[in-house]
Amino acid sequence: MNEPLPVVPDPTDLLKVARTRMPFGRYAGRLLVDLPEPYVVWFSQQGFPRGELGRLLQLVYEIKVNGLEHLVEPLKN
């Protein structure tokens, strides 16, 4: 059986997570990295949106559940 190819992350994704605002919903306008963890967990259970936003939200999910928000904090400015 063939192993799946590893996903190569975009090196600019952390910067995008720190500076992109949620475009819709209850938290529209909030930076993705500042979204409440339960909201991001809900997306992980319901399914992330397609495209770049979904990919960035998946990264936010990994950052939040692993307590790594402090790594993104300096990138906000």
CA dist 37 to 4, 6, 7, 9, Å? 29, 26, 24, 22
Q: Provide the residue ranges of all domains of the chain, joining segments of one domain with +.
A: 13-76
Please give the model's pTM, rounded to 2 decimal places. 0.85
Tokens coding 37: 């963890």
Cα(64)–Cα(33) distance, rounded to whole angstroms?
8
Helix (H) or strand (E) holding 60: helix 51-65
**pLDDT tens digits for 61-70?**
999 999 999 9
H helix intervals, the chain: 13-19, 37-46, 51-65, 69-72
Q: pLDDT exceeding 90 applies to what percent of the chain?
A: 79
